[in-house]
Amino acid sequence: ERRAYRNALDRKRRDQLKSIFKNLKNVIPSLQTEKMPSRATILKKAAEHIRFMKKKNAGQWQDLEVLQRQNSALEAQIAAMECENSSDDGDEVKVKEEIREVLEEFCEVSDSSDSEYSYPTSLHKNKKIKFQEPYDFS
């Protein structure tokens, strides 16, 4: 009786593991075509897929941050254009100085690679984003 109970528990555990490995295999793209990969292969491919997705995610964070800085710079250019149309010459110099400061703040490159989970803030390290004319803020 005790032996049958132990066998049943062991069978249940093995079935659960089998189901978990089957589910894991089904979510790994490189294993979709394989019929019966070993558990070691499933784990290896899962680890590779996780590394790939982390790298892809970090790249998307970098792209997002670059686009946010570019968006901020473009918004500053819009503000400059609006101010240029509505202010006199004395105020225009002051506004251009403020806009230059804002642009420099948003375009600074920082290296935040302290841990494997931090995301760099630029695709182009040690370079600033170039902005389109017609505004020369120098």
> Residue 87's domain is classified under what CATH number?
4.10.280.10
Closest to 42 (Cα-Cα) out of 54, 30, 56: 30
Structural domain contains residue 137? no
In whole angstroms, give the CA distance from residue 62 to residue 54: 12
* Each residue's pLDDT expressed in tens, for the chain with a length of 138 residues: 899 999 999 999 999 999 999 999 999 999 988 989 999 999 999 999 999 999 999 999 999 999 999 998 888 888 877 777 765 556 666 666 777 777 666 655 444 444 333 334 444 444 444 444 444 433
pTM to 2 decimal places? 0.53
Structural domain contains residue 123? no
DSSP annotation of 133:
T
Structural domain contains residue 138? no
The pair of three-digit structure tokens given for residue 66, joined into one six-digit string: 């670059």
* Number of domain units in the chain: 1
Structural domain contains residue 114? no
**Amino acid in position 31:** L
Structural domain contains residue 118? no
Contact call for residues 120 and 112 (beta carbons, < 8 A) = yes
Contact call for residues 38 and 22 (beta carbons, < 8 A) = no
Residue 35's domain comprises 2-107
| Secondary structure in 3-state letters for 48-66 | HHHHHHHHHHHHHHHHHHH
Structural domain contains residue 124? no
The pair of three-digit structure tokens given for residue 19, joined into one six-digit string: 């189901």
